[in-house]
Chains A and B, each alone.
Chain A
Amino acid sequence: MRLQAITAKPVKQYKSYCFTGQTDPNIFRRLILIKDVKKYFAYNFNRRPISTSKEPNMQQVFTKAMARNIFLGGSVFFLAIYLALTYDTWQQIPLRDHADKMTPAVLSGKYLFDTNNCVGCHTLNGEGAYFAPELGNVYKRRGPEFIKAWIQSQPTGVPGRRQMPNFHFDQKELNDLVAYMEWLSHIDTNNWPPNIQG
Chain B
Amino acid sequence: MKFQSQKVAIPYFVGALALFLGQIVFGLIAGLQYLNGSFLFPELPFDIAHMSHTNLLIVWLLMAYMGAAYFIVPEEAQTELYSPRLALVTFWIFLTAGALTILSYLFVPYAHLAAITGNAALPTMGRGYLEQPLPIKVGIVLVALSLLFNVTMTLIKGRKTSINLILVGSLWGLALLFLPAFYFPQDTVKASFGWWWIVHGWVEGDWELILGALLGFILIKMTGVDREIVEKWLYIIVAMTLISGIIGIGHHYYYTGAPAYWIWLGTIFSAFEPIPFILLIAFSFKMLLARRREHPNKAAMLWALGTPLMAFLGAGLWGFMITLAPAQYYMHGTNFTAAHGHLAFFGAYAMVALAIISYAMPLLRGRIANSAAAQRWEMTGFWIMVLSMIGIALALTGAGLVTVLLQRAADDPMSFMQVQDKARVFFWLREFAGLAFFIGLLVYLRSFFIAGEYGYAGEMKQALAA
Q: Do A and B come from one complex?
A: yes
Distance between Cα atoms of A75 and B226 in the complex (Å) = 26
Which residues of B lie under 8 Å from residue A132 when comparing CB positions? 416
Which residues of A lie under 8 Å from residue B263 when comparing CB positions? 190
Distance between Cα atoms of A45 and B224 in the complex (Å) = 9
Distance between Cα atoms of A6 and B127 in the complex (Å) = 68
Which residues of B lie under 8 Å from residue A193 when comparing CB positions? 255, 332-333, 408
- Mask, A116-136, CB within 8 Å of B = 1, is 111111011111111111100
- Mask, A38-70, CB within 8 Å of B = 1, is 000000011010000000000100111001101
CB pair B188 A165 closer than 8 Å: no
Partner of B259, one of A92, A116, A195, A197: A92
Interface residues of B in 210-258 (CB under 8 A from A): 224, 226, 228-229, 231-232, 235-236, 238-239, 242-243, 246-247, 249, 253-258
Classify the interface of chain B: helix, strand, loop or mixed.
helix
A residues near B, CB below 8 A?
Answer: 45-46, 48, 59, 62-64, 67-68, 70-71, 74-75, 78-79, 81-82, 85-86, 88-90, 92-94, 96-97, 99, 102, 107, 110-121, 123-134, 155, 157-163, 165, 167, 184, 187-190, 192-198
What's the nearest-Cβ distance from chain A to residue B375, in Å? 23
Which residues of B lie under 8 Å from residue A188 when comparing CB positions? 257
Distance between Cα atoms of A129 and B34 in the complex (Å) = 12
Interface residues of B in 43-72 (CB under 8 A from A): 45-48, 50-51
Q: Which of B259, B261, B407, B417 has the most CB of A within 10 A?
A: B259
Which residues of B lie under 8 Å from residue A198 when comparing CB positions? 407, 416
Count: A-B pairs, CB below 8 Å: 226
With contacts A93-B187, A117-B126 taken as known, whether A64 is within 8 angstroms of B257 at the C-beta atoms is: no
CB pair B45 A165 closer than 8 Å: yes
Partner of B41, one of A116, A118, A131, A163: A163
CB pair B46 A115 closer than 8 Å: no
Partner of A131, one of B46, B224, B408: B46
Which residues of B lie under 8 Å from residue A85 when comparing CB positions? 247, 261, 265
CB pair A78 B247 closer than 8 Å: yes
What's the nearest-Cβ distance from chain A to residue B437, in Å? 19
Partner of A194, one of B33, B48, B128, B409: B409
For B290, give the chain A residue with the smallest CB separation: A48
For A82, give the chain B residue with the smallest CB separation: B246
* 11 A-B residue pairings within 8 Å (CB atoms): A74-B239, A82-B249, A92-B258, A96-B189, A115-B110, A117-B47, A117-B126, A127-B333, A184-B188, A190-B263, A192-B254
Query: Does B193 have its Cβ within 8 Å of any Cβ on chain A?
Result: yes
With contacts A125-B256, A130-B334 taken as known, whether A74 is within 8 angstroms of B242 at the C-beta atoms is: yes
CB pair B125 A115 closer than 8 Å: yes
For A96, give the chain B residue with the smallest CB separation: B257
Distance between Cα atoms of A127 and B247 in the complex (Å) = 20
CB pair A160 B36 closer than 8 Å: yes
Which residues of A lie under 8 Å from residue B120 when comparing CB positions? 111
Which residues of A lie under 8 Å from residue B253 when comparing CB positions? 89
B residues near A, CB below 8 A?
Answer: 33-34, 36-38, 41-42, 45-48, 50-51, 110-111, 114-115, 119-120, 123, 125-128, 131, 162, 184, 186-190, 192-193, 195, 224, 226, 228-229, 231-232, 235-236, 238-239, 242-243, 246-247, 249, 253-263, 265, 292-293, 329-330, 332-335, 337-338, 407-410, 413-417, 420
Which residues of A lie under 8 Å from residue B190 when comparing CB positions? 90, 93
CB pair B257 A123 closer than 8 Å: no
CB pair B38 A75 closer than 8 Å: no
What's the nearest-Cβ distance from chain A to residue B221, in Å? 14
CB pair B259 A88 closer than 8 Å: yes
Which residues of A lie under 8 Å from residue B236 when comparing CB positions? 67, 70-71
What's the nearest-Cβ distance from chain A to residue B289, in Å? 14
CB pair B242 A71 closer than 8 Å: yes
CB pair A64 B239 closer than 8 Å: no
CB pair A64 B232 closer than 8 Å: yes
Distance between Cα atoms of A78 and B243 in the complex (Å) = 6
CB pair A127 B128 closer than 8 Å: yes
Nearest 10 A-B pairs (CB), nearest first? A120-B47, A126-B333, A114-B126, A162-B37, A192-B255, A67-B235, A71-B239, A133-B416, A115-B114, A126-B332
Distance between Cα atoms of A178 and B414 in the complex (Å) = 24
Distance between Cα atoms of A74 and B239 in the complex (Å) = 7
Which residues of A lie under 8 Å from residue B189 when comparing CB positions? 93, 96-97, 187
CB pair A167 B111 closer than 8 Å: yes
Which residues of A lie under 8 Å from residue B254 when comparing CB positions? 190, 192
For B263, give the chain A residue with the smallest CB separation: A190
Q: Which of A99, A167, A190 has the most CB of B within 10 A?
A: A190
Known: A82-B249, A117-B47, A129-B47. 8 other contacts (CB 8 A): A46-B292, A78-B242, A92-B258, A97-B188, A117-B125, A131-B46, A132-B416, A194-B409
Partner of A197, one of B123, B125, B162, B414: B414
Q: Which of B228, B255, B329, B338 has the most CB of A within 10 A?
A: B255
With contacts A93-B193, A107-B186, A184-B188 taken as known, whether A194 is within 8 angstroms of B408 at the C-beta atoms is: yes
CB pair A99 B187 closer than 8 Å: yes
For A81, give the chain B residue with the smallest CB separation: B247
CB pair A75 B46 closer than 8 Å: no
CB pair A163 B232 closer than 8 Å: no
Which residues of B lie under 8 Å from residue A45 when comparing CB positions? 224, 292-293
Distance between Cα atoms of A67 and B337 in the complex (Å) = 33
Distance between Cα atoms of A196 and B408 in the complex (Å) = 9
Distance between Cα atoms of A123 and B333 in the complex (Å) = 7
Distance between Cα atoms of A193 and B256 in the complex (Å) = 10
Distance between Cα atoms of A73 and B14 in the complex (Å) = 39
